[in-house]
Amino acid sequence: MAKRPKRDIEKVYPRAQFVAKLRRLADAVESGKGFSIQVAGERLHVPAHAHFSIEHEREGDVDELELQVRWTRE
């Protein structure tokens, strides 16, 4: 497999698009299936064995909630 370049993207989506992506992810996780999602022009394939976490950060008056999905590419 070719080495993929390092990437750190944060993409802002309109509420309706965000909800649709989140709903598709939740449905796939609930059914134990893999999931495909496109983020900023790159299609990602999330396997069913991915790990899920929720992160909360606070700095000054700003709170941030991140829903994280991690996996190792095979």
pTM: 0.77
Q: How many CA atoms does the CB half-sphere of 22 hold within 13 Å? A: 10
pLDDT digits (tens, 9 = 90+) for 58-67: 999 999 999 9
Query: What span, in angstroms and rounded, lies between the C-alpha atoms of 68 and 53?
Result: 5
Low-confidence ranges of the chain (pLDDT < 70): 1
Query: What span, in angstroms and rounded, lies between the C-alpha atoms of 63 and 54?
Result: 13
